[in-house]
């Protein structure tokens, strides 16, 4: 049962434009969310996080938005750069444990 | 900071043999380490959680006798795949977490191929 879903397997964006990656979850017990970036044959790299007590967190070009009522979060990258091309995973943690549940990833391609 | 290494990065072994994968936190103390497995085009699946000095907690469906996890120190955890079979071929990734932190820092992964 996939509790964290990334329904878009891929996304292409022109350099300089905004990239929006979406993530939906089903478990209302999730209280902490992270985004990871992954290059082929490498482990994921932590990008940005957000706690359920917030609805927005910003770090440079990266902003994560959380809509708890819709059980939806999104990652905005602006402006997008070719080096941002990678697979992005969202992950969610339940408030009663250590385990993170990962989405299946969205492959972002930023076209120069 | 927060670098995690894994060794080896790739390993090919024969069916029936055992393989050990190391996960090290290079510049911080990891009170908790996690082992994940990833199949092609699928998400990371947590296999087990280990806390330094105690037994690992395995997720449902993961055979603890097959996937032996040892977290002997605050900087090292090992995963041993015993009596490996071709269906164990996968990408294994570890992550490490500091005390009182949420973020997990991932290693680069190990590609295991069992022939």
The 3 state secondary structure assigned to chain B is CCCEEEECCEEEECCCCCEEEEEEECCCCCCEEEEEEECCCCCEEEEEEEECCCCCEECCCCCCCCEEEEEEECCEEEEEECCCCHHHCEEEEEEEECCCCCCCEECCCEEEEEC
Query: From A88, which residue of chain B is nearest by alpha-carbon distance?
Result: B43
**Token couple for A58:** 């910003």
Nearest C-alpha neighbor of A84 from the set A4, A5, A20, A6: A20
The answer for residues whose C-beta is within 8 angstroms of residue B25's C-beta and 6 or more apart is B2, B3, B4, B33, B74, B75, B76, B96, B105
**pLDDT band for position A1 (50/70/90)?**
low
- What are the chain A neighbours of B7 within 8 Å (beta carbons)? none
The pLDDT value given to residue B40: 74
pLDDT for residue B94: 94
**Predicted pLDDT at A86:** 95
Residue from A43, A45, A48 to probe the interface with B (highest B Cβ count within 10 Å): A43
Give yes or no for residue A98 having a pLDDT over 70: no
pLDDT at residue A41 in the model: 73
Q: What percent of chain A has pLDDT over 70?
A: 97
CA distance B43 to chain A (A): 4
Report the pLDDT value the prediction gives residue A61, as an integer from 0 to 100: 97
C-alpha to C-alpha distance for A88 and B104, rounded to whole angstroms: 15
The residue of chain B nearest to residue A38, with distances taken between CA atoms, is B108
* Residue-level pLDDT at B55: 87
Residues 13-72 of A with CB under 8 A from B: 32, 34, 36, 41-46, 49
The structure tokens listed for A60 are 């440079």
- In chain A, count H helices and then E strands: 0, 11
- How many CB atoms sit inside 10 A of residue B73's CB? 13
Give the gap in angstroms from C-alpha B17 to the nearest C-alpha of chain A: 24
Q: How far apart are CA A106 and CA B68, in angstroms?
A: 32
Q: What pLDDT, in 10s, does the model give residues B76-111?
A: 999 999 999 999 999 999 999 888 777 888 898 999
Span B7-58, pLDDT tens digits:
999 999 999 999 999 999 999 998 899 999 987 777 788 899 998 888 899 9
Least reliable range by pLDDT among A59-73, B44-58, B65-79:
B44-58
CA dist A97 and B46 (Å) reads 13
Mean pLDDT of A56-78: 97
Cα–Cα distances (Å) from A28 to A4, A24, A74, in that order, read: 11, 11, 17
User: Mean per-residue pLDDT for B60-80?
Assistant: 92
Question: Cβ separation of B106 and A36 shorter than 8 Å?
Answer: yes
Cβ neighbors of A33 (< 8 A, separation 6 or more) are: A23, A25, A49, A50, A51, A52, A64, A66, A73, A90, A91, A92, A93
CA distance B114 to chain A (A): 18
pLDDT at B51: 87
The CA radius of gyration of chain B, in Å to the nearest whole number, is 13
Q: Which of A23-32, A48-57, A80-89, B47-56 has the lowest mean pLDDT?
A: B47-56
Averaged pLDDT for residues A66-89: 96
């Amino acid at each position: 049962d996939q509790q964290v879903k990334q329904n878009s397997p891929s996304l292409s964006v022109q350099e300089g434009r905004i990239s929006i990656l979406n993530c939906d979850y089903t478990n209302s017990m999730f209280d902490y969310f992270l985004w990871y970036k992954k290059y082929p044959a490498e482990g994921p790299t932590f990008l940005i996080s957000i706690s359920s007590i917030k609805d927005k967190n910003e770090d440079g070009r990266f902003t994560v938005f959380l809509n708890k009522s819709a059980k939806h979060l999104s990652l905005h990258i602006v402006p997008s750069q070719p080096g941002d091309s990678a697979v992005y995973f969202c992950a969610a943690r339940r408030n009663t444990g250590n385990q993170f549940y990962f989405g299946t990833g969205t492959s972002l391609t930023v076209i120069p | 900071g927060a670098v995690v290494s894994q060794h080896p990065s790739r390993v090919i072994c024969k069916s029936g043999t055992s393989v050990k994968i190391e996960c090290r936190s290079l510049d911080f103390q990891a009170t908790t380490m996690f082992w994940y497995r990833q199949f092609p085009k699928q998400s990371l699946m947590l296999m087990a959680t280990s806390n330094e000095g105690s037994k690992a907690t395995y997720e449902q469906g993961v055979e603890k006798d097959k996937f032996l996890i040892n977290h002997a120190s605050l900087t090292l955890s090992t995963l041993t795949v015993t009596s490996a079979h071709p269906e164990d071929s996968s990408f294994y990734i570890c992550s490490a977490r500091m005390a009182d932190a949420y973020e997990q820092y991932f290693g680069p992964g190990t590609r295991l191929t069992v022939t």
